[in-house]
Chain A
């Protein structure tokens, strides 16, 4: 019986490992805010993609992560910045009657003792006007400003779209 349980546990671990997006995932904790499972979508520059002209703002990408707050008070993600893009915004994607809308939001509340996931179809950090191609495996630096926890800077890996 013990053996069976062990095998089941190993199998579950294996399955969950398969489901995890990729290897070198960062995890950083600062002032009670933990950021983990961060990744940015790999993207090419428009000029490298056969576009004859560079339309306004060039290419875009999105960054996704899990933000956990272990402080006694809720915190607010106010601002994001990165030297990889001309402009960085906090966006939320919403779905209404099958129609997808995306809009900038003033911030994201991270409730006390819980985590908010920035993921496709929900919140993301929007990188507008990429300054360089984001190749899979490369990293970009990003800085998040929280109302209470202050600035948290870290590197996140680019993954295939």
Chain B
């Protein structure tokens, strides 16, 4: 190899090293939308199959909050299954995240049913609901839209709802939202970024 070639490759390597160094200084990119500064969201008390659950009792952990309904055959289960997969990739760090599923359809989902539904995805997932009135207040508090559609001739109805997942930091403030459709590895990446911040 002649001297010119050595010089050229040396410069290329130097350039790559500088680029990598620069990138490591930048704040890590999130796949979801980071909320900066984190937004205080307030507290709530809803019901699981085994009684009252208050959001603030999870302070110290990240809370992954998802609003949906159990008669939803595709988006809700896909989201919960994606969270299960992402958390299983995190291994023992998964215990730093608490997944809470809130049913916005208390007319069909009892607290017991919401709880059992959520725990089918992962035994650590919590499923909650409350009175129609409380659900309305909590959804509004967290910026979640939902609407019960008119029933068809057979009495079946669907529910429109915000499909994003909310992530609250260990002090209960909103730090991140995930739109529907992110893949488990993308969720896992964001979870790892959050854990580094903690």
Contact = CB atoms under 8 A, between A and B. Distances in A.
B61 interface: no
Given A60-B73, A103-B158, A104-B152, A98 B108 contact: no
Main secondary structure of the interface of B (DSSP, over half): loop
A55 B110 CA distance: 9
Interface residues of A, number: 36
Interface residues of B, number: 37
A52 B81 CA distance: 26
A50 B154 CA distance: 25
B78 A120 contact: yes
Interface string A60-100: 11101000000000000000000000010001010100111
Interface of A: 41, 44, 46, 49-53, 55-57, 59-62, 64, 87, 91, 93, 95, 98-104, 119-121, 124, 126-128, 160-161
B115 A50 contact: yes
A95 B77 CA distance: 16
Contacts of B121: 161
B194 interface: no
Given A120-B75, A121-B180, A87 B156 contact: yes
Given A41-B77, A50-B113, A52-B112, A102 B181 contact: no
A95 B163 contact: yes
B71 A57 contact: yes
B74 interface: yes
19 contacts: A41-B77, A49-B112, A53-B110, A56-B155, A59-B71, A60-B71, A62-B74, A64-B74, A91-B158, A99-B160, A100-B72, A100-B160, A102-B72, A102-B74, A102-B75, A124-B74, A128-B154, A128-B156, A160-B81
B186 interface: no
Interface centre among B81, B145, B160, B181 (most CB of A within 10 A): B160
Interface in B128-170: 145, 149, 152, 154-156, 158, 160-164
Would you list the 3 A-B pairs with minimal beta carbon distance, nearest first? A62-B73, A120-B74, A50-B112
Contacts of A46: 113
A41 B73 contact: yes
B117 interface: yes
Interface string B45-60: 0000100000000000
Given A50-B115, A95-B180, A101-B158, A161 B77 contact: yes
